Structure 1
Amino acid sequence: MNDQAKPSGSWKPLLRLIGQTRPSKGLLITAISLSLIGTLISLIIPLFTKNLVDGFSISNLSWQQMTLFGGIFVLQALASGFSMYMLNAVGQRIVANLRDKLWKKLLKLPIPFYDNHRTGETISRMTNDTGVVKQLISENSTNFLTGIISVIGSVAVLFYMDWQMTAVMLGVIPIAAVFLVPLGRQMYIVSKGLQEETASFTTTLTQVLSEVRLVKSMNAEKREYTAGSTKISSLFSFGLKEARIQAMIAPLMFFVMMMLLVVIIGYGGVRVSSGALSAGELVAFILYLIQIVMPMTQITSFFTQFKKTVGATERIIAILDAPEEDHEGGKPVDRADQAISVNDLSFHYANGEPVLAELNFRVEPGTVTAIVGPSGGGKTTLFSLLERYYEPTGGTIKLGKESIDSYNLRSWRSQFGYVSQESPLIAGTIRDNLCYGMDQEVSDAAIVHAAEMAYAHTFISELPNGYDTEVGERGIKLSGGQRQRIAIARALLRDPKILMLDEATSSLDSKSEVVVQEALKNLMAGRTTLVIAHRLSTVVDADQILFIEKGKLTGSGTHDELLETHPLYLEFATQQLRLHEKETVELE
């Protein structure tokens, strides 16, 4: 019932969406004017035909008449062609602006949005849903506009010529509406389901293809094929439902056309024989009938497509109306070399268990703070709060005496350098990855210097294309250690004041770890550094170690202090020492 109730008020969201794209009013008015001119000319043609039939004789034909008649056809074709092109141009511009607006919005949406929406569904909004809107505006709207003008003009002329015969003709149309309106409602329901299923299928494709190595390593091809095949079957089912509705609409329109022709020719023949109507007028009636029925098919197609567009519009508007990050509000960070203080910090995800509870600690500028503890304790979430991906549910984080919320978000994040365990790279060259996110052009000398500091220049130089070597999707053509060193070089180029290292060496072998650790030392020099680490070698020399378990800070101090006061840290350190000794033996 709800789905059927929505279409009645569904014009407003679409018009609002179109209004946000700011279409060219001048071009739109010109296109509509040309369309009106072309349609008015087409309305004159049956009248010329009427006069030609009623007064037909070879002797009455002249070159002037033939030239005028041909000129009218050419003028009508030119006006219609230009108006159609302009309306299409307006439609294409509207959709281009819509996609641009949607893309800009997607980049401004906060991390919690992406936590709650699958990537494939979001991609579907950008591609499939905007494609549905594009088809309505660029293709169906053009025919709808010209069709409406043609129908109204033809009916007006027919009433002027013979109102009785026109009334009889129009009496057939409500019969068709009885069938077409329910079919339109069914088309809306089916089309909305089809769009949702398409989004789900896109999600499955994105997930499987982006992790295809995992699929193959786990021999999961059969499982994923079954899951994808189920989605394809569902899409096929929706496609058949849509085809059944369209199969009913087309014959119905043909039936209405034939019924109208029979009524007009039959009733018109009686009126011609009685002298109430001339033969030319009957021919004109039939021509006007064609100018009514043919656009009616186009108008029906418009409403069918419109039903599809309603669901797409709702989903697009839901994204455009979602709260976004304010990158420009607040003051710029003038001094990042100040202490970071965390006071009674708490956080939990929406409808979830607490992740952090009343954390209190202070990070002095230029020092190294290591964060250790069992997995799932909230260490990475703490980093996310520092970068303001999430808002704390309690407490504050301050830089100096100011809350970090008071700073401009773009300026705040520019103070950070982040090197994670994953070391994400974009598809492109090594140079593209090193310079990623830089506002100004970076010199070759600066790039090489950063690579040398990160111990990456040697292996980059040995590659066939050097810094112009393609790294592949997610950097798959490089080893883990190479990706880490490129990530470190990228952070060096950014010259951050605050550095965050999230288990940056945990996935590396001992040999790679030694090189990366040396690169990290260069990166950490003179910077305020926070390190999440499981390896003792990473934290033993830290100025301060924070032990977090189950979201709570259970101990803080230097390595030696925690060995004496914190039993769980002692256990952690002992395990790491044994692991380090084992790796050393294996390496030897």
Structure 2
Amino acid sequence: MSDSASGPSRPARTPGQPAAAAPQMTGWQVYKRLMAHILPYLGIMGISFLGYLIFAATTPATAAWLGWTIDQVAVQNADARIISPILCVLIVLFRGLGGFLGHFALEHVANHVVHKLRCQIVDQLLAVPVRYYDQNSIGRLVSKVTYDVAQIKGAATNAITVIMREGLTVIGLLLYLFWVNWRLSLVFLLVAPCVAFVVHLATTRYRRYSRQMQDSMGDVTQITNESIKGQRVIRTFNAGNYVSNRFSSASEKNRRQNMKMVATESTATPLIQLLVSIAMAILIWFALSPELLASSTPGELVSFLTVAGMLAKPIRQLSGVNAVIQRGISAATSIFALLDTPPEKDLGTHETSRAKGLIEFSDVGFSYKKDEPVLQGINLRVEPGMTVALVGRSGSGKSTLVSLLPRFYEYGSGDIRLDDVSLPDYRLGNLREQIAIVTQDVVLFEGSVAENIAYGIGEKVTAEQIQRAADNAHVTEFAAQLPEGFDSQVGDGGTLLSGGQRQRLAIARAFLKDAPVLILDEATSALDTESEQHIQQALNELMRGRTTFVIAHRLSTIENANVILVMDKGRIVESGTHAELLALDKHYARLHRLQFAESSLASAEPDDTHAGDANNEAD
């Protein structure tokens, strides 16, 4: 390995910098985009429309049936005694059939849309850069899949149901009124501008309060996740009241935003109803004029007034649907912002069945934020099969450096090459096939021991291969004692296993992957001394013939590394073997003396509180 730059540098790049903000879409543009997801289901939507058309037609038909029945009673038509009950049943039958077709077909479409949106969200979350997770809390991301999608379903189902069912009903009733007496019916058109103005004012408030509700709901979800995952820490530090107060504050904020939405809705709906009732009052006043009474039968008058009265309910429901639509638009805006986030760059085309493991860093620089470099001028060459150990204080850039290898982050300047091919030139999936990672923060998934060992590749490996990986990582020792052996469940995040057992599962996963490049980030940190000895032997076997990067705070675990790199403030300040670095008597030698002193103090005085200071210095 050499510290000198090797090969030409690639042009400087500035990945991770925020792209130019996309122009803000209007509510109508967002809703049109949401409705575009329904286009594949136009046939089923047609069935829904037909159902609600039948449903709407039965409303004026009911008024007409009532008026006809009254007129038949007046003329003493004996046949009406049979016809009227039959018409009553038929109207209710068709109303029920239309309502069923409309609602069922629309729910079918809405649930398909929600399902596809959820899948798109999860697929996008798996594709966005790691930086996206650095900038967004888990609670807010979970809220998009749960709360936001539910709001979209309301806009795509409940709102459209009301618009189609009640809208068609209003149209049917108005057509009936105009057919009976178009001059009187013009009264309803007089209140239309006033209703439109009220709806416009309410819409502005709905949008604002919906966005605030989403933000507060994200906080509620985040605190809930933290409370569940960190419940042992919360109990240990008696932080229950603190967490409870935080949650109460976030929930109270969400409650206030909900009440603002309710207040707006509760004000707008009665106001619209008042305007409609004024129009109806004027209509009734004209309808009861002597001239109209003289020219109409009792049945016609009853039908006319009944239809006018029936308009109140659908108009009230239509006025309330705006709140649902605005919630859906606000939620859709949030979801579309995620779906529009550029995924990880994967423009490379190079593939290899198995890399040799030659890795070169040439003047590599990286920063999470502009003008705040985390890595500067990293130059190093690692031959295939070599073990490179990274040591240094916490925050010196060790984990960041190894995170560049699987391209969790894109380096900002210089170049990194694997087998003389720049990392961006590899197809991303193929590059990551060449790398196995074991970290101190073990991530296990709900499932069995065997499923976690073969996570992601279960269909490609045999039970014998899983068993062999488990043997190498000393998993078999504890798995054999579990109730169902390798089929035993590990619990949520591996809660049914000890820390050391979880660590061994992660190591077995790396054994099974059998990648040519291995990254070990404090891979034995969660193990007791006896287990660590077994695992260290297994790791030595795993590292054989592989290019390995080891991040370690305990220097005793990396004394046999081919090269030890000492990092400080994002730079490599020393490199060499254990003996060479001790002979230099600089950074590494000082860290080694501090840890040796710490071990001596811990042995002589187990309760000495000053031992931790040396450990902090070594970190």
**For structure 1, which segment, 392-401 or 63-72, has the greater mean C-alpha deviation from structure 2 after superposition?**
63-72
Please state if 1:82 is matched with 2:106.
no
Alpha-carbon contact 1:485-1:519 (below 8 Å) kept: no
Aligned equivalent of 2:353, options 327, 330, 334: 334
SS of structure 2 residue aligned to 1:504: coil
Q: 1:319 maps to which residue?
A: 338
Alpha-carbon contact 1:108-1:324 (below 8 Å) kept: yes
Alpha-carbon contact 2:188-2:276 (below 8 Å) kept: no
SS of structure 1 residue aligned to 2:410: coil
Q: 1:12 maps to which residue?
A: 29
Q: 2:478 maps to which residue?
A: 459
1:35 Cα shift? 2.3
1:329 Cα shift? 5.3
Q: 1:499 maps to which residue?
A: 518
Q: 1:449 maps to which residue?
A: 468
Query: C-alpha separation between the residues in 1 aligned to 2:308 and 2:350?
Result: 68
SS of structure 2 residue aligned to 1:300: helix
Q: 2:611 maps to which residue?
A: none
SS of structure 2 residue aligned to 1:24: helix
Please state if 1:300 is matched with 2:357.
no
State how 1:243-254 maps to structure 2 within 5 Å: 243-254=262-273
Aligned equivalent of 1:407, options 422, 426, 429: 426
Deviations along 1:134-185, whole A, 9 cap, x unmatched? Answer: 1122222112112222222322332232122101243345445554542343
SS of structure 2 residue aligned to 1:162: helix
Aligned equivalent of 2:158, options 117, 139, 149: 139
Aligned equivalent of 2:204, options 170, 180, 185: 185
Residues 421, 98 of structure 1: alpha-carbon distance in 2 compared, 3 angstrom cutoff: same
**For structure 1, which segment, 536-545 or 375-384, has the greater mean C-alpha deviation from structure 2 after superposition?**
536-545
Alpha-carbon contact 1:271-1:277 (below 8 Å) kept: no
Q: 1:3 maps to which residue?
A: none
Please state if 1:237 is matched with 2:260.
no
Gaps of 5+ in 2: 1-22, 607-619
1:119 Cα shift? 0.7
Letter in 2 for 1:547: V
SS of structure 1 residue aligned to 2:389: strand
Letter in 2 for 1:320: L
SS of structure 2 residue aligned to 1:386: coil
Please state if 1:67 is matched with 2:86.
yes
1:60 Cα shift? 4.4
Query: C-alpha separation between the residues in 2 aligned to 1:586 and 1:451?
Result: 38
1:463 Cα shift? 2.2
Residues 582, 430 of structure 1: alpha-carbon distance in 2 compared, 3 angstrom cutoff: farther
Please state if 1:280 is matched with 2:327.
no
1:482 Cα shift? 1.8
Query: C-alpha separation between the residues in 2 aligned to 1:577 and 1:9?
Result: 65
SS of structure 1 residue aligned to 2:287: helix
Q: 2:12 maps to which residue?
A: none
Residues 566, 60 of structure 1: alpha-carbon distance in 2 compared, 3 angstrom cutoff: farther
Aligned equivalent of 1:58, options 67, 72, 76: 76
Alpha-carbon contact 2:269-2:320 (below 8 Å) kept: no
Alpha-carbon contact 2:559-2:578 (below 8 Å) kept: yes
Letter in 1 for 2:573: T
Alpha-carbon contact 1:140-1:298 (below 8 Å) kept: no
State how 1:22-421 maps to structure 2 within 5 Å: 23-56=40-73, 57-62=75-80, 63-64=82-83, 66-256=85-275, 258-271=277-290, 275-326=294-345, 330-351=349-370, 353-421=372-440
TM-score (norm. length: structure 2) = 0.87
Greater RCO between the two (CA within 8 Å, min separation 6)? 2
Alpha-carbon contact 1:7-1:310 (below 8 Å) kept: no
Alpha-carbon contact 1:396-1:403 (below 8 Å) kept: yes
Deviations along 1:12-46, whole A, 9 cap, x unmatched? Answer: 11221332465412111222133224333544443
Gaps of 5+ in 1: 1-5
**For structure 1, which segment, 312-321 or 433-442, has the greater mean C-alpha deviation from structure 2 after superposition?**
433-442
Please state if 1:427 is matched with 2:446.
yes
Query: C-alpha separation between the residues in 2 aligned to 1:42 and 1:80?
Result: 12
1:528 Cα shift? 1.3
Alpha-carbon contact 2:273-2:312 (below 8 Å) kept: no
Letter in 1 for 2:51: L
Q: 2:8 maps to which residue?
A: none
Residues 323, 7 of structure 1: alpha-carbon distance in 2 compared, 3 angstrom cutoff: closer
4+ long deviations beyond 6 Å = 582-587
RMSD: 2.6
Query: C-alpha separation between the residues in 1 aligned to 2:443 and 2:371?
Result: 28
Query: C-alpha separation between the residues in 2 aligned to 1:8 and 1:395?
Result: 38
Alpha-carbon contact 1:343-1:360 (below 8 Å) kept: yes
Residues 535, 522 of structure 1: alpha-carbon distance in 2 compared, 3 angstrom cutoff: same
Residues 334, 73 of structure 1: alpha-carbon distance in 2 compared, 3 angstrom cutoff: same
Query: C-alpha separation between the residues in 2 aligned to 1:467 and 1:360?
Result: 44
1:299 Cα shift? 1.3
Q: 1:572 maps to which residue?
A: 591
**For structure 1, which segment, 25-34 or 236-245, has the greater mean C-alpha deviation from structure 2 after superposition?**
236-245
Letter in 1 for 2:582: L
Letter in 2 for 1:515: H
Query: C-alpha separation between the residues in 2 aligned to 1:276 and 1:490?
Result: 89
**For structure 1, which segment, 137-146 or 58-67, has the greater mean C-alpha deviation from structure 2 after superposition?**
58-67
Deviations along 1:424-480, whole A, 9 cap, x unmatched? Answer: 222332222112121525333222211111122112212233223332333233222
Letter in 2 for 1:376: G
**For structure 1, which segment, 423-432 or 349-358, has the greater mean C-alpha deviation from structure 2 after superposition?**
423-432
**For structure 1, which segment, 101-110 or 45-54, has the greater mean C-alpha deviation from structure 2 after superposition?**
45-54
Quick one: percent identity of the two aligned structures?
31
Alpha-carbon contact 1:420-1:504 (below 8 Å) kept: yes
Query: C-alpha separation between the residues in 1 aligned to 2:533 and 2:320?
Result: 67
Residues 423, 531 of structure 1: alpha-carbon distance in 2 compared, 3 angstrom cutoff: same
Deviations along 1:214-250, whole A, 9 cap, x unmatched? Answer: 2222221121122112122222322332333333244
Deviations along 1:80-108, whole A, 9 cap, x unmatched? Answer: 32122111211121111111111111111
Alpha-carbon contact 1:204-1:228 (below 8 Å) kept: yes
